[in-house]
Amino acid sequence: MGGFVLRKLGAALIVLAIASLFVFLGIRALPGDPALALGGEDRDPQVLAQIRHDYGLDQPLPVQYVRWVGHALQGDLGQDQRSLSVAHTIIHKLPVTLELAALSVLIAIIIGVPAGVLAAVRRGKTSDYASTGVALVGLSVPHFWLGLMMIIVFAVDLHWLPAGDYVSISHPVANLEHLVMPAIVLGTGFSAVLMRQTRSAMLESMGADYVRTARAKGLSEWKVLGWHAFRNSLITVTTVIGLQLGALISGAVVTEQIFGIAGFGRLTIESVQQRDYTLIQGIVLVAAAGYVIVNLLVDLLYSVLNPRIRVSGRPT
Amino acid sequence: MSYVEVAPLSPAARRRRILRRRFLRRPLAVVGLAVAIGFVIVAIFAPLIAPYDYKETDFNALLAHPSRDHLFGTDALGHDIFSQVVFGARASMEAGVVATLLALAVAIPVGLIAGYYRGWVDPVVARLTDALLAFPFLILAVGLAAILGPSLRNAILALGIGAVPQLIRIARGEALALREEDYVRAAIANGASDFTILRRHILPNMMSTIIVQATLTIPILIIGEATLSFLGLGVQPPATSWGVQLRAAQDYLFDAPRLAIYPGVAIVLATLSINLFGDGLRDVLDPRTQR
Amino acid sequence: MTTPLLDVSDLSVRFDTDDGAVHAVDGLGYTLGAGEVLGLVGESGCGKSVSALSLLGLLPSTATVTGEALFEGANVLNVSPRQLRRIRGKEISFVFQEPMTSLNPVFTVGKQISEVLRKHLELSSKQARKRTVELLELVRIPAAERRVDEYPHQLSGGMRQRVMIAMAVACDPKILIADEPTTALDVTIQAGILDLMRDLRERLGTAIILITHNLGVVADIADRVVVMYAGRKAEEAPVRELFANPQHPYTIGLLNAIPRLGEEEGNGRERLQEIPGRVPSLSEPLDHCAFADRCPRADDLTRSSVPPLERVGTDHLVACFHPGGEWSR
């Protein structure tokens, strides 16, 4: 297993490096003078010269890159238009989004995985068609629209839940009240994907020879499906979860916008509206880094679940 | 009484017949195809179908309820909602299809080469793809919008780039598997050039998987365009798309929810139908499914 | 004449697929006595595996099984799922063809064997583990103590097959059905597996239904043989009798096709005799002799009616209108 972990770690680092390169070059690809872009609206030549010096814009590109990465690794992502530390702003807003994301993932797993198993086991029967149908609809609904609909129904018509804002976690009940709808909205697409993946993974393991062997041993259907088949499909399902994170981040951006939650997602929109390039740069980098790290963790989880990796270090 | 000579079907024709039969046995997929085609027709013939131009305003009917004049009612500026939805189909479908085609144009050659040649190309492509995956399409769109300014074209670009990694993966997987097929090995042994093999053996055989994947990508990108336009990062007014309409509907959520409902339902129907069709297509083309 | 352990009669299996129906087995019947080894022989697709799988209800849901298979007084094809689960693994067990895919890759070998022990014999986990190690030693797996905690992918093909056999004999079943147990293995390993099975039969007295397309295996280990063709029984006889005196043209064809070394006929080399033609499509139950298209003795009779099973000697049955014939050796 050690070899596997090291390989994945190495790959992750490379990917992170490439991603950071993309971000760096992306900002530099701006037409016009980067100093102008970084400085916002200020046109004062002295300020611009200062910016050039600060950011080392007079240096060759590779040097700039290294400097930037160096700073980033130390936690310094520069300053935004209002001269606030980008890193600080991001760290401040991140926990809100993380909580939202965690809740959504939880909801998605709780709903999606059992639904997928059920659909697979009852393949061809009504409950299969029903759950698959619901999942398909879940995939076809733009979740921001779902958010709007939910607001109309639950907040406007029924007055059950508040329409937005965020209450800190120190008030757990209110906190959850405010996060329930956004979490459900965000989790819907994810749970639909999970449900379908679980279903197809289950169907595949259910059709495998070893399931037939388990039946031939006289085990109850519960054991055959719930234990032998499911345990195998878990492996596939885990990898899917990692891949969906990108979509989760995208979803968070929109969801926060609709529900008026001041988190990482909303920050992203604001940064574009204000053309705050340093902020954008920091945000994109953090998002990419987060994705790579979480996927690394998912890979580790995968190695734990799959004995072929755990014991001999290579799949099959 | 004479017997009619019926020429036996060629294997390709027979396969097509079997596939068609299997497809027709799946009513949902057929319905999906029909509805999807319906949307395409609406998008293409929008000016003929919509009773009004989407920019046309009727100041006598602001936020009107559905009536004979205005099937879905009007919005805050007097635009006929039905016409808007009809015209909105254009941008949304265009975004979905064009972005998918863009992504395919990149993904197929790259995936093909990575999967067929392996060697050093493969790991490099894999790392690049992973790096690309690290940017959720929204973040990409945000970045692009910041650099190049928001527009439908940039939205399509962002969507296309976002769809590339997954398609590369599929193409690569197919090329990898097909490479090991006996007829490919036979062709290599007979001295066929790489290009010929790729063109005649590998590419045609992976088409069915690619087509299914592309069909299932389009709805995702349609929703993507709607999301971007909703955030102001895609289609810019006065041009319209379903996403733009939803953005405007936000302000009237309490007074006139129908402004949000109609475009939304349109999106759901369009994507659902394509998804149903794509699913059915996949079941039909996959030799493993039993019924 | 004691009651046979297993009495199969008129067993038929039909599959309903997207592309039509397939009649895989048509009116098969045979008996199995206690401690006996019955060889079920035929080429790929003749229905021998399907007929065996149907005994334990292991066919997919697209299959419809009719007929009777009496085991200890009950028709195994008709019992309740609960009763079937009690029979599976304990009274009748199955060894599958592909040891690579028939073992669950995420559980250790020991766990998979203990599972069946704990289910049927209700042993504690400690007892089960002990018995598992004994079983592994019984099937001649070296270093059994260590192997118990290993995963299937860590074992070689031959060892995996032995594990499957251990799993199958764990609860001392009365009948062991082995479906092509050696086909997926190297020839050198095959002999070891057959040796093992012979040994087990001696020690445990288990009756074995051995399914194979390899006549050599049959000659090695079987007491009696049933030859199947296109889902039907073609011939049945004690093994020596079958090899000495085959009656059905198909059997004769099979035996003729076995290459023999060191022949002196002609210039010392004989062309391998093949049976011309192909197995008929099974989308409709045939109303004539299934072998007619390829049979040198085919005539109007065989092309228009199904040959009934007839006795041609003690314990020797043949379904043919023109049995017997040229067979030297």
- Nearest C-alpha neighbor of C54 from the set C10, C116, C107: C10
User: What is the sign, positive or negative, of the torsion defined by CA atoms of A288, A292, A295, A297?
Assistant: negative
Q: What is the pLDDT of residue A167?
A: 64
What interface predicted TM-score (ipTM) does this complex get? 0.82
CB contact under 8 A, C89 and A307: no
CA distance C229 to C314: 22
Chain mean pLDDT for chain C? 85
Query: Which residues on chain B are in Cβ contact (under 8 Å) with A243?
Result: 133
| Pick from A209, A218, A316: CB nearest C102 | A209
CA distance A300 to A309: 10
Mean pLDDT, range B50-70, rounded to an integer: 79
Decide if B290 touches C, using CB distance below 8 A.
Answer: yes
CB contact under 8 A, C62 and B290: yes
Q: What is the pLDDT of residue B97?
A: 93
Given a cut of 50, whether residue B291 has pLDDT beyond it is no
Decide if B60 touches C, using CB distance below 8 A.
Answer: no
Given a cut of 50, whether residue B180 has pLDDT beyond it is yes
Q: Is B206 exposed, middle or buried (0-12, 13-18, 19+ CB in 10 A)?
A: buried
Which of A72-86, B179-193, C52-66 ranks highest by mean pLDDT?
Answer: C52-66
Q: How many CB atoms lie within 10 A of CB A1?
A: 14
| CA distance to partner chain B, nearest, from residue A130 (Å) | 13
Helices (H), C257-319: 300-304
| Pick from B136, B226, B268: CB nearest A246 | B136
Q: What is the pLDDT of residue A56?
A: 64
Q: What is the pLDDT of residue C329?
A: 42
Decide if A212 touches C, using CB distance below 8 A.
Answer: yes
| Pick from A208, A220, A231: CB nearest C101 | A208
Mean pLDDT, range B100-109, rounded to an integer: 93
Query: Which residues on chain C are in Cβ contact (under 8 Å) with B25?
Result: 18
pLDDT per residue as tens digits for the range C166-191:
999 999 899 999 998 888 778 788 88
Q: What is the pLDDT of residue B222?
A: 93
Query: Which residues on chain A are in Cβ contact (under 8 Å) with C151?
Result: 307-308, 311
Largest CA distance in chain C: 68
Residue C172 in tokens: 């001392």
Given a cut of 60, whether residue C62 has pLDDT beyond it is yes
Q: Is A158 exposed, middle or buried (0-12, 13-18, 19+ CB in 10 A)?
A: exposed
Chain mean pLDDT for chain A? 80
Q: What is the pLDDT of residue A163?
A: 58
CA distance A209 to A213: 6
Query: Which residues on chain C are in Cβ contact (under 8 Å) with A210?
Result: 101-105
Question: Does the bond joining B238 to the residue before it have cis omega, within 30 degrees of 0?
Answer: yes
If you count DSSP H runs as helices and E runs as strands, how many of each does chain B have, helices first? 12, 0
Decide if B285 touches C, using CB distance below 8 A.
Answer: no
CA distance C323 to C317: 10
For tokens 């379903």, name the residue: B242
Instruction: Name the more confident of C116 and A306.
Output: C116
| CA distance to partner chain C, nearest, from residue A5 (Å) | 19
Given a cut of 80, whether residue A46 has pLDDT beyond it is no
Decide if A246 touches B, using CB distance below 8 A.
Answer: yes
- Nearest C-alpha neighbor of A28 from the set A213, A278, A229: A278
Q: Where does the pLDDT of residue A162 fall: very low under 50, low under 70, confident under 90, or very high at 90 and above?
A: low
| Pick from C93, C105, C115: CB nearest A307 | C105
| CA distance to partner chain B, nearest, from residue C18 (Å) | 6
- Nearest C-alpha neighbor of A221 from the set A236, A206, A232: A206
Given a cut of 90, whether residue C40 has pLDDT beyond it is yes
Q: What is the pLDDT of residue C1?
A: 52
Query: Which residues on chain C are in Cβ contact (under 8 Å) with A237?
Result: none
CB contact under 8 A, B290 and C19: no
Q: What is the CA radius of gyration of chain B?
A: 23
Q: What is the CA radius of gyration of chain A?
A: 24
The interface residues of chain B toward chain C in range 85-104, judged by CB-CB distance below 8 A, are none
Given a cut of 60, whether residue C269 has pLDDT beyond it is no
| CA distance to partner chain A, nearest, from residue B213 (Å) | 15
- Phi, psi (rounded to 5 degrees) for C92: -125, 130
| CA distance to partner chain B, nearest, from residue A171 (Å) | 28
The interface residues of chain B toward chain A in range 217-236, judged by CB-CB distance below 8 A, are 219, 223, 226-227, 230-233
By percentage, how much of chain A surpasses pLDDT 90?
4
Pairing of strands C175-179, C309-313: unpaired
What residue type is A214 in one-letter code?
Answer: A
Given a cut of 80, whether residue B7 has pLDDT beyond it is no
Half-sphere exposure of B237 (CA within 13 A, CB side): 13
- Chain C neighbours, 3+ Cβ pairs < 8 A: A, B
CA distances from B145 to A21, A275, B103, B247, C163 (A): 19, 9, 19, 17, 61
Q: What is the pLDDT of residue A182?
A: 85
Given a cut of 70, whether residue A269 has pLDDT beyond it is yes
Contact C142, C202 (CB under 8 A): no
CA distance C46 to C284: 15
- Chain A neighbours, 3+ Cβ pairs < 8 A: B, C
At residue C297, the 3 state secondary structure works out as coil
Decide if B31 touches A, using CB distance below 8 A.
Answer: no
Q: What is the pLDDT of residue B3?
A: 55
Contact A186, A298 (CB under 8 A): no
Q: Where does the pLDDT of residue A204 fall: very low under 50, low under 70, confident under 90, or very high at 90 and above?
A: confident
Q: What is the pTM of this model?
A: 0.79
Rounded to the nearest angstrom, the gap between the alpha carbon of residue C70 and the centroid of all alpha carbons in its chain is 18
- Nearest C-alpha neighbor of A190 from the set A145, A231, A234, A251: A251
Query: Which residues have a Cβ under 8 Å from the Cβ of B228 and sit 6 or more positions away?
Result: B138, B141, B155, B158, B159, B234, B243
pLDDT per residue as tens digits for the range B152-163:
888 898 889 888
| CA distance to partner chain C, nearest, from residue B18 (Å) | 8
For tokens 């069915």, name the residue: B208
Helices (H), chain C: 48-55, 81-87, 99-102, 109-121, 125-138, 144-147, 157-169, 187-204, 215-221, 239-244, 249-256, 300-304
Q: What is the pLDDT of residue C114?
A: 92
Query: Which residues on chain B are in Cβ contact (under 8 Å) with A119?
Result: none
Given a cut of 70, whether residue C11 has pLDDT beyond it is yes
Contact C180, C211 (CB under 8 A): yes
pLDDT per residue as tens digits for the range B226-244:
988 998 888 888 888 999 9
Query: Which residues on chain B are in Cβ contact (under 8 Å) with A257?
Result: 231
Given a cut of 50, whether residue C328 has pLDDT beyond it is no
Rounded to the nearest angstrom, the gap between the alpha carbon of residue A22 and the centroid of all alpha carbons in its chain is 19
CB contact under 8 A, A253 and B249: no
| CA distance to partner chain C, nearest, from residue A220 (Å) | 7
| CA distance to partner chain C, nearest, from residue B22 (Å) | 8
CB contact under 8 A, C19 and B291: no
